[in-house]
Amino acid sequence: MNIEELLGSFVRRLNRRDMHLSASTLDSSLPAPAPDLKYLLYLHVPYCIALCPFCSFHRVKFERDSATRYFDCLRREISLVTDAGYSFDELYVGGGTPTVLPDELVATIAAVRARHAVDDISVETNPDHLRADALQKLKQAGVTRLSVGVQSFDDNLLKAMRRFDNYGSGPQIAARLKEVRGIIDTVNVDMIFNLPQQTESSLRHDLDVLVDDVAADQVSFYPLMTSDSTRAEMSRTMGTSSLSRQKDYYQLITERMLSAGYLRSSAWCFSRKPGMYDEYIVDREQYVGLGSGAFSFLKGALFANTFSIGGYMELLEAGKSSVASKRAMSAHDQKRYYLLMRLFGGTLDKECAEERFNGEFQHGLWAELTALKAIDAVRDTGKSLVLTERGYYLWVVLMREFFSETNTLRDQMRHDIDRPSSVRNSEESTNVRA
């Protein structure tokens, strides 16, 4: 096992210890917003036409009536947080597949823009929704970035992922991407590497299609990330994946993308032009998440909305908050989270970090920073901390573990929906942590 995976294993244990949310029984709402602060708004739309075996996000099979009602509740929730004083300048709509009902999505974006001066709007979608007329509507609605879940252009892998019949073959998906090129300012293509059955040859083919054929604006290459609930199903349908080849695959991706002129936007995102953003968590420390299963990070605490879609809609139709759980982070954990997210983007501004943590950032993380420098993962330029080549891969491992544990947390909260309240209350009385 290499040093990166050893550190990843250590982080996994820390995450499993720290990412525990207790039921929010005393105050089931978000805290008051900071005055004059603009937040990022995340909206979660959990509906998908088909459920992929590798996906651990909060999602359900699409039903038109349920989804229509859900979008209405999402707009109610937007009004609630706006009336509470929150102000937003950036919007990210994820899922699920937010474009399952395009008109409802456009109406929801309009509801945000009617009350907030939102400059950047990013929306996730799938290849079957890449139609010029639909994208023109999104552009008119203000969408500036579209993130398309492609995962691979290899037909054998698409079939193993149960995506071939639903979204088309690799050549068909590539053709759709080319047909809609230029409609939205930035089109990001989401890919997965280190899939079971993936070979070096199939990965090289994916890279060739992205660079030479599609000429994608932006590409995000995610390492395979699973949860307890999806691991068994994925093993049954696709086989198992080996971490031993992940580093080689990442180096292959990095060399190909950088040699083609792409720039790093994060440890696993590559963009044709500077200034293209990737994950909103890279440069937005605080954000508000609305919708069933959405997370918010505010004032050093993580908040989770109910994962019960029916319960979510009942709460919003009654004019109530959907927040179900909360986890307050210690001062040290907040510094570690800040370090993880900022260096995911490649660079951490030391002056900004010290200002954020009242001069205690580097002192408080002395052990962590010393270790990162000792293994040549981070370099200190004086003004900034920057990732080295080794550090970029380490951050892929660390973020993989962070998101995998978040997926396990989603499993836990989905499981809680089905348990009798008497059982949940008994467990919470013994498990609640400060």
The span from the CA of 282 to the CA of 297, in Å, is 13
223 burial via Cβ count (<10 Å: 0-12, 13-18, 19+):
buried
Identify the domain boundary among 254, 271, 288: 271
Shared-domain flag, residues 242 and 372: no
Shared-domain flag, residues 215 and 364: no
Range of the domain at 229: 24-271
At a CB cut-off of 8 Å and minimum separation 6, what does 117 contact?
A: 89
Identify the domain boundary among 387, 406, 424: 387
Whether the Cβ atoms of residue 195 and residue 243 lie closer than 8 Å to each other? no
Shared-domain flag, residues 62 and 157: yes
CATH of residue 84: 3.80.30.20
Chain segment 220-241, per-residue pLDDT in tens: 999 998 777 677 777 777 777 7
Tell me, what amino acid is at 300?
Answer: G
Per DSSP, the residues of 112-162 read HHTTS---EEEEEE-GGG--HHHHHHHHHHT--EEEEEEE-S-HHHHHHTT
How much is the pLDDT for 21?
54
Chain segment 8-47, per-residue pLDDT in tens: 565 555 555 555 555 544 456 899 999 889 999 999 999 9
How much is the pLDDT for 406?
82
Chain segment 115-148, per-residue pLDDT in tens: 999 989 999 999 999 999 999 999 999 999 999 9
How much is the pLDDT for 221?
97
Residues belonging to the chain: 434
Chain segment 97-114, per-residue pLDDT in tens: 999 999 999 999 999 999
Indicate the SS3 state at residue 337: helix
Shared-domain flag, residues 342 and 250: no
In a domain, 285, yes or no: no
167 burial via Cβ count (<10 Å: 0-12, 13-18, 19+):
buried
The span from the CA of 269 to the CA of 221, in Å, is 6
Shared-domain flag, residues 158 and 248: yes
- List the structure tokens of 11: 């982080």
Indicate the SS3 state at residue 223: strand
In a domain, 254, yes or no: yes
In a domain, 406, yes or no: no
Shared-domain flag, residues 266 and 339: no
Shared-domain flag, residues 237 and 336: no
Is the link from the previous residue into 96 a cis peptide, with omega within 30 of 0?
yes
Shared-domain flag, residues 42 and 133: yes
In a domain, 280, yes or no: no
Shared-domain flag, residues 337 and 248: no
Chain segment 320-365, per-residue pLDDT in tens: 999 998 889 999 999 999 999 999 999 999 999 999 999 999 999 9
Instruction: Return the HEC string of 357-414.
Output: CCCCHHHHCHHHHHHHHHCCCEEECCCEEEECHHHHHHHHHHHHHHHHHHHHHHHHHH
In a domain, 140, yes or no: yes
Shared-domain flag, residues 232 and 381: no
Identify the domain boundary among 248, 271, 294: 271
Q: Phi then psi for 305, rounded to 5 degrees?
A: -80, 160
pLDDT greater at residue 6 or residue 293: 293
Instruction: Name the maximum alpha-carbon separation found in the chain.
Output: 58
In a domain, 414, yes or no: no
In a domain, 79, yes or no: yes
In a domain, 416, yes or no: no
Shared-domain flag, residues 365 and 252: no
- List the structure tokens of 252: 């292959």
Q: Count other C-beta atoms under 10 Å from residue 388's C-beta.
A: 15
How much is the pLDDT for 24?
47
Indicate the number of domains in the chain: 2
pLDDT greater at residue 368 or residue 424: 368
Q: Could you tell me where the beta strands, DSSP code E, fall in 211-257?
A: 218-223
- List the structure tokens of 101: 């009902």
- The mean predicted confidence, pLDDT, of the chain is 88
pLDDT surpasses 70 at 266: yes
Q: Could you tell me where the beta strands, DSSP code E, fall in 126-272?
A: 145-151, 186-193, 218-223, 263-264, 269-271
How much is the pLDDT for 426?
38
At a CB cut-off of 8 Å and minimum separation 6, what does 36 contact?
A: none
Return the closest-CA partner of residue 278 out of 423, 124, 161: 124
Whether the Cβ atoms of residue 332 and residue 326 lie closer than 8 Å to each other? no
Mean of pLDDT values over 201-230: 92
Shared-domain flag, residues 264 and 367: no
How much is the pLDDT for 242?
81
